[in-house]
Amino acid sequence: MLPRLAELRRLQSCVLRHVRSFAVFPGASPLVEEAEEVNGGRGEDITDHLTDLTTPASWYPAARMMRRKVVAHMGPTNSGKTHAALQALKAAETGVYCGPLRLLAWEISEKLNADDVSCSLITGQERRVMEGAKHAACTVEMASVSRQVDVAVVDEIQMVADPSRGHSFTRAILGIPARTLHVCGDPAALPLLRQLVQDTGDTLEVLEYERLLPLKAEKAALGTLEGVRKGDCLVAFSRREVHTTKRALESWGALKCCVVYGALPAESRTQQATLFNKPRTGFNVMSASDAVGMGLNLNIRRIVFTSLEKFDGASYRPLTAAEVKQIAGRAGRFGSSHSSGRVTCMHQEDMPYLHTALACANPELQQACLFPSYQQLAIFAEQHNHLDLSDALELFANRATLSQHFFFSNYEPMHKLALMLRHLALSLRDHYIFSISPADPEDPPVAAALLSFASCYASRGHVSVIEAQRWQLKPARTESELEQLEAAYRILDLYIWLSFRMEAAFTGRAEAEKQRKLVTALIEEALPRLAINSKALTARQRRQERMELLDVSRAIEDHFNGSQWDRRIQQKLLAPVYQKPLPTVPIPKLLRRSRKHLRDWELE
Ligand SMILES: Nc1ncnc2c1ncn2[C@@H]1O[C@H](COP(=O)(O)OP(=O)(O)OP(=O)(O)O)[C@@H](O)[C@H]1O
Ligand SMILES: [Mg+2]
């Protein structure tokens, strides 16, 4: 047999082996499966060009077999874009909605089911498959690129330029095989969208929208909290400030304050939004982080920025104009009880920047984010003497060639997790799944949980939610106990996410979902009751807390660098939260007790 042919045969079997290793995830609805698409259509020269990412449109054979009609709904926030796209989705025989947040996917699946369009919900952590449903609402990462539908909606497409998650939007826009693909987003994304549609050979129709209700920037800043009125949403950029603002507002007794922030479970954010939106609940103002910027339909009269700076993981930076507008645009939603939206700041010195940001158009997006599929990485690793995932990722990123309209995704978080796990006996596929999981390497308890899940899995091939993590589920009396509950939620969420991808090993999903529900109830029970006041911590306690966090992050850092855990620090990290025995109180009783708290201030 010709050597070339032998080489090809070997490669072909290698591709098939990797494709098969990524079976469609059990429980996914027929419309949705995740990232196991075949990197098809490139046949014999796959090794030479494996890191050639210059033609991503050719990665999606199912979409290329049809001439799709792309409809772009372009406009500012609150201009009816999603609403219009949903009308087409509801009228279609089959369809899928892809959004950036679980909250949005939830909201849309609720909306469609309420309108008698049976719609499944598929996110990384939820599978609510409705019997016979021909519609699904999913997070964009879960979009299928091999199942054909009549209509697909990809919402918030300006996120195609997001350095970490943008590649999922690029994959959805290039690869969903929909007869009609509706995309909604900011007009700044239009020139780049035109380029993507030109690459795919589809047709493009552009619909432009105006804000449905005016958004007015006030002239003067609020100055102090005394100026806060019902319907206001105060926006801060740290969990601590959100709670401190809540505490300060409630200290007068006139206002009851809901909270929304990223670390809060999605269910609790919805519950807080409902408390805020419904009349006569008594909760008439909101203290929120930028998590309020997308996904929740809120009855906000005015947005008050307590700051126009945020910490982006490395340093403090001013909000971009797009971020200011995304958040300000939440005021005065069409259909809410307000005839317009208003926006201001707490401090007068921020007002000029606010006015400038609101007045300027968002800079046009130049490039879409791109990341290789699992198959490409797996074959590349195999072709290079079976490199482990972290090395393969680095080498691939260094060698990748892209066209001028794309940039390589920020793979740092995934690389850190891959490094942390590289000493474990994991197959490439399992190492990849653990490394793309929604564990934030900068989130010590969750990173520690991932490490223990993966260690359990590598040594025993099985991970029960009770075995791998032990935490105390009890009503939170202090802010740090509330933070522990929020961490427990994220760890349960991570376990459930893994259980959908490694079902035979993570067998405690039902138990984890029950505990996640309990933790959510305990968090929601604590929020209105907890007197959180960062000043309550003495300077010594605050210093101690900061030292602990420093110790912990140093331990995690050591781990990333492959050195041994510092046993003392590991005990410090794991002992306070995870290694105490579960409460003797049986869970249902604890849940009833929490429910009793819930009833005390439940909605009328
Ligand atoms: N034609 C309409 N009839 C009734 N309600 C509408 C209509 N258009 C929009 N709405 C409602 O107005 C609100 C804002 O609309 P929508 O969410 O579609 O705006 P958007 O442009 O997608 O906003 P964002 O950019 O913030 O996502 C929603 O509650 C939506 O249901
Ligand atoms: Mg929208």
User: Which-ligand-closest: CA of 73?
Assistant: 1
The letter for the amino acid at 387 is L
Name the more confident of 526 and 450. Answer: 450
Instruction: Indicate if ligand 1 lies below 6 Å from the C-beta of 533.
Output: no
Nearest atom in ligand 1 to the alpha carbon of residue 77 is 25
User: Which-ligand-closest: CA of 77?
Assistant: 1
Name the more confident of 32 and 590. Answer: 32
Nearest-5° angle of CA 414, CA 419, CA 421? 100
Mean pLDDT of the chain: 83
Task: Give the closest residue (by CA) to ligand 1 atom 9.
Answer: 80
Q: Tokens 């604590």 correspond to what residue?
A: 526
Are residue 274 and residue 172 in the same domain, yes or no?
A: no
Are residue 497 and residue 465 in the same domain, yes or no?
A: yes
Are residue 544 and residue 590 in the same domain, yes or no?
A: no
**Interatomic CA distance for residues 160 and 98, integer angstroms:** 13
**Interatomic CA distance for residues 548 and 235, integer angstroms:** 28
State the distance from the centre of ligand 1 to the C-alpha of 345, rounded, in angstroms. Answer: 25
pLDDT in tens, 524-553: 888 877 754 444 445 555 556 555 555 544
Q: What tokens appear for 17 in the block?
A: 């082996």
What 3-state DSSP class applies to 310? strand
Count of structural domains, the chain: 3
Q: Residues 221-229: contacts with CB within 8 Å, 24+ apart?
A: 221/344, 221/345, 221/346, 221/347, 221/348, 221/350, 221/351, 222/304, 222/344, 222/345, 222/346, 223/346, 223/347, 223/348, 225/249, 228/255, 228/285, 228/304, 229/285, 229/301, 229/302
Instruction: Indicate if ligand 1 lies below 6 Å from the C-beta of 336.
Output: no
State the distance from the centre of ligand 1 to the C-alpha of 371, rounded, in angstroms. Answer: 32
What 3-state DSSP class applies to 53? strand
Residue 575: pLDDT over 60:
no
pLDDT (0 to 100) of residue 129: 94
Instruction: Indicate if ligand 1 lies below 6 Å from the C-beta of 120.
Output: no
Are residue 228 and residue 169 in the same domain, yes or no?
A: no
Are 202 and 325 a contacting pair, CB within 8 Å? no
Are residue 179 and residue 322 in the same domain, yes or no?
A: no
pLDDT in tens, 73-89: 999 999 999 999 999 99
Are 353 and 308 a contacting pair, CB within 8 Å? yes
Nearest atom in ligand 1 to the alpha carbon of residue 186 is 25
The least confident of 360-364, 492-496, 526-530, 537-541 is 537-541
State the distance from the centre of ligand 2 to the C-alpha of 74, rounded, in angstroms. Answer: 10
Ligand 1 mutation pick, 115, 215, 334, max ligand atoms within 8 A of CB: 334
Residue 454: pLDDT over 70:
yes
Q: Are strands 135-139 and 95-99 parallel, antiparallel or unpaired?
A: parallel
Reduce the secondary structure of 555-582 to three states and give it as a string.
HHHHHHCCCCCCHHHHHHHHHHHHCCCC
CA 238 to mean position of chain CA atoms? 17
Give a yes or no: residue 20 inside a domain: no
The letter for the amino acid at 404 is Q
% the chain with pLDDT above 70: 78
User: Which-ligand-closest: CA of 294?
Assistant: 1
State the distance from the centre of ligand 2 to the C-alpha of 200, rounded, in angstroms. Answer: 25
Give a yes or no: residue 31 inside a domain: no
Give a yes or no: residue 400 inside a domain: no
Question: Where among 146, 179, 208 does a domain terminate?
Answer: 208
pLDDT (0 to 100) of residue 296: 77
Tell me phi and psi for residue 500, to 5 degrees: -75, -20
Report the pLDDT averaged over residues 189-206. Answer: 98
Report the pLDDT averaged over residues 24-29. Answer: 34
Question: Where among 141, 173, 208 does a domain terminate?
Answer: 208
Tell me phi and psi for residue 252, to 5 degrees: -85, -15
Residue 596: pLDDT over 80:
no
Instruction: Indicate if ligand 1 lies below 6 Å from the C-beta of 334.
Output: yes
pLDDT (0 to 100) of residue 48: 52
Are 174 and 202 a contacting pair, CB within 8 Å? no
Are residue 81 and residue 184 in the same domain, yes or no?
A: yes
Are residue 150 and residue 256 in the same domain, yes or no?
A: no
Q: Which residues have a beta carbon within 5 Å of ligand 2, which is an ion?
A: 82
Task: Give the closest residue (by CA) to ligand 1 atom 12.
Answer: 334
Task: Give the closest residue (by CA) to ligand 1 atom 14.
Answer: 78
Name the more confident of 482 and 601. Answer: 482
Nearest atom in ligand 1 to the alpha carbon of residue 330 is 26
pLDDT (0 to 100) of residue 112: 97
**Interatomic CA distance for residues 301 and 296, integer angstroms:** 14
% the chain with pLDDT above 90: 63
Give the burial class of 586: count Cβ atoms within 10 A of its Cβ; 0-12 exposed, 13-18 middle, 19 or more buried.
Answer: exposed
Give CA separation, 534 vs 97, 280, 526, 537, in Å.
41, 30, 16, 6
Give a yes or no: residue 101 inside a domain: yes
**Interatomic CA distance for residues 31 and 129, integer angstroms:** 10
Q: What string of DSSP letters covers 182-241?
A: EEEE-GGGHHHHHHHHHHHT-EEEEEE---SS-EEE-SS---SGGG--TTEEEE-SSHHH
The least confident of 257-266, 398-407, 537-546 is 537-546
pLDDT (0 to 100) of residue 585: 35
The least confident of 22-36, 252-266, 370-384, 454-468 is 22-36
Give a yes or no: residue 508 inside a domain: yes
Instruction: Indicate if ligand 1 lies below 6 Å from the C-beta of 410.
Output: no
User: Which-ligand-closest: CA of 79?
Assistant: 1
Where in the sequence is the domain holding 523, given as residue range(s)?
Answer: 407-579
Are residue 323 and residue 266 in the same domain, yes or no?
A: yes
State the distance from the centre of ligand 2 to the C-alpha of 386, rounded, in angstroms. Answer: 44
Name the more confident of 72 and 279. Answer: 72
Task: Give the closest residue (by CA) to ligand 1 atom 4.
Answer: 335
pLDDT (0 to 100) of residue 599: 43
pLDDT (0 to 100) of residue 50: 85
Give a yes or no: residue 41 inside a domain: no
State the distance from the centre of ligand 1 to the C-alpha of 139, rounded, in angstroms. Answer: 19
Q: What's the ipTM? A: 0.99
Are residue 550 and residue 413 in the same domain, yes or no?
A: yes
Instruction: Indicate if ligand 1 lies below 6 Å from the C-beta of 82.
Output: yes
Tell me phi and psi for residue 229, to 5 degrees: -125, 165
pLDDT in tens, 87-103: 999 999 999 999 999 98
Give a yes or no: residue 352 inside a domain: yes
Give a yes or no: residue 284 inside a domain: yes
Instruction: Indicate if ligand 1 lies below 6 Å from the C-beta of 76.
Output: no
Are 101 and 294 a contacting pair, CB within 8 Å? yes
Report the pLDDT averaged over residues 440-444. Answer: 93
Q: What is the CATH number of the domain that holds 334?
A: 3.40.50.300
Name the more confident of 530 and 461. Answer: 461
Angle between helices 428-436 and 412-421 (to 10 degrees): 130
Name the more confident of 402 and 530. Answer: 402
Instruction: Indicate if ligand 1 lies below 6 Å from the C-beta of 333.
Output: yes
Are residue 171 and residue 262 in the same domain, yes or no?
A: no
The least confident of 209-213, 250-254, 264-268 is 250-254
Are residue 175 and residue 227 in the same domain, yes or no?
A: no
Task: Give the closest residue (by CA) to ligand 1 atom 7.
Answer: 80
Question: Where among 173, 208, 243 does a domain terminate?
Answer: 208
Are residue 575 and residue 591 in the same domain, yes or no?
A: no
Instruction: Indicate if ligand 1 lies below 6 Å from the C-beta of 338.
Output: no
